[in-house]
């Protein structure tokens, strides 16, 4: 039996298994900590920082930080919400996110987070960066929308662990780089998985789109995170 750890989030107390991250522990007690780069089943990389929380005056990324005994966590406090909003706004300003023209609109996690936090306009000036759209057999990669979360890098690899998607360049120019040869061998299922796992509309399977009508899309009616908050 693994030892259970005691913790609290915004005054709500809970118990969780040792070895869990703060994000996972929060889920256990039905508390939603928003994440964008993290995806169930993938090794967390702490890249988006939207899951930042406060513990004893220290900022930590809850997707990578292991829970420890007695942690007192601030999640939905004004300061945490303020910083979180700012990071979401940074992402909106950094790329070219033209929601009305995006197939992922309504199912996009970045957009859903912006809705959840009631963002009407980012506080930061839009950067309008020059980015490319690349075509591969079976899918498109639209760098305008990419948020460098590395989900595709982690989730879609060859059987012997070679990276089909890898990060290229650095700083503001960091991009997902596709191995053309390996990408040509992706099965339709793998492409579907890549598209589903992409939180935004950067990876798009060719020949399908706008499958669900407005009003029935994932985040049309319920805010992201409701599924976790609904439990318990």
Partner 1 sequence: MDSIKKIISRYKKDRTRLLDILKEAQAAEGKISDQAIEAVAAALQISRAEVEGVISFYHFFSDRPTGKYVIYLNNSVTSGMAGREKVARALEKEANCRFGQTSPDGLITLFETSCIGMNDQEPAAIINGVIFTSLNEEKVKKIAGQMRKNIDVQEMIEEYGDGANRHDLVRAMVKNHIRKEGPVIFGDYQTGLGLNQALKLAPEGVINEIKKANLMGRGGAGFPTGLKWELCRKEKSSEHYVVCNADEGEPGTFKDRVLLTERPEMVFEGMVIAGYAVGAKLGILYLRHEYTYLKRYLKYILENMRQNGFLGKKIAGQNFDFEIEIKSGAGAYVCGEESALIESAEGKRGDPRDRPPFPVQNGYLGSPTTVNNVETLATATQIFTHGSAWFRAMGTSVSAGTKLLSVSGDCDRPGIYEVEWGLTLKELLSLVGAEETLAVQVGGASGQCLSEAGFGRKLCYSDLATGGSVIIFNKTRDIFSIVRNFLDFFIEESCGWCTPCRAGNVLIKNKFEKIASGLGTASDLAEIEAWGKLIKATSRCGLGQTSPNPVLTTLTNFREIYEKKINKEADFRSEFDLARSVEQACQVTGRKFEEEREDA
Partner 2 sequence: MSSKPVIATASLAGCFGCHMSFLDIDERLLELIELVEFDKSPIDDLKKFTRPVDIGLIEGGCCNAENVEVLRSFRKNCRILISLGECAVMGGLPAMRNTISLKDCLEEAYLNSPTVAPEDRVIPNDEDLPLLLDRVYPCHEVVKIDYFLPGCPPSADLIWEALTALVQNRPMKLDYQLIKYD
Bridge pairing between strands 58-61 and 52-55: antiparallel
Tell me if 28 contacts partner 1 by CB under 8 A: no
- Span interacting with partner 1, options 8-16, 160-168, 184-192, 207-215, rule CB under 8 A: 160-168
- Taking alpha carbons only, the member of 112, 168, 113 closest to residue 141 is 168
* Dihedral, CA of residue 134, residue 140, residue 141 and residue 143, to nearest 10: 70
Measured CA to CA in angstroms, residue 154 lies from 59, 71, 119, 202, 203 at distances of: 25, 29, 29, 15, 14
C-alpha dihedral sign at 76, 88, 43, 105: positive
- In the stretch 86-115, what mask flags binding to partner 2 with x, by CB under 8 A? ----------x-xxxxx--xx----x--xx
Beta-bridge partners for 61: 52
Task: Choose the one of partner 1, partner 2, none that binds residue 136, judging by a C-beta under 5 to 8 angstroms depending on kind.
Answer: none
Closest CB 201 distance from partner 2, rounded Å: 11
> Contact between 87 and partner 1 (CB under 8 A)?
yes
Q: Residue 175: beta bridge partners? A: 168
Q: Which does 105 bind (CB under 5 to 8 A by kind): partner 1, partner 2, none?
A: partner 2
* Residue in the structure block whose two tokens are 């890898």: 166
Give the footprint of partner 1 on this chain (CB under 8 A): 44-50, 52, 59, 61, 64-66, 83, 86-87, 90-91, 93-94, 123-125, 127, 147-148, 158, 160, 162-174, 177-182
Give the footprint of partner 2 on this chain (CB under 8 A): 96, 98-102, 105-106, 111, 114-116, 118, 120-121, 125-126, 128-131, 144, 214, 220-223
């Amino acid at each position: 039996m693994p030892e259970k750890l005691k913790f609290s989030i915004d005054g709500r107390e809970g118990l969780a298994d040792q070895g869990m991250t703060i994000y996972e522990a929060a889920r256990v007690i039905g508390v939603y900590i928003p994440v964008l780069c993290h995806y169930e089943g993938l090794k967390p990389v702490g890249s988006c920082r939207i899951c930042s929380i406060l513990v004893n005056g220290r900022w930590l990324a809850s997707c990578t930080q292991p829970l420890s005994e007695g942690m007192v966590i601030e999640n939905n406090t004004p300061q945490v919400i303020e910083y979180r909003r700012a990071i979401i706004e940074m992402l909106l300003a950094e790329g070219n996110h033209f929601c009305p023209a995006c197939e992922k609109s309504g199912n996009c996690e970045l957009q859903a987070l912006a809705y959840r936090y009631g963002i009407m306009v980012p506080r930061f000036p839009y950067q309008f960066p020059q980015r490319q759209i690349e075509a591969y057999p079976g899918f498109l990669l639209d760098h305008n929308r990419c948020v460098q979360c590395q989900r595709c890098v982690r989730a879609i690899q060859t059987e012997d662990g070679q990276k089909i998607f890898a990060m290229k360049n650095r700083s503001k120019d960091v991009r997902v780089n596709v191995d053309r040869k390996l990408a040509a061998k992706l099965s339709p299922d793998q492409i579907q998985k890549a598209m589903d796992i992409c939180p935004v509309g950067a990876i798009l399977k060719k020949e399908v789109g706008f499958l669900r009508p407005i009003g029935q899309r994932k985040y049309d009616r319920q805010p992201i995170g409701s599924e976790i908050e609904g439990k318990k």
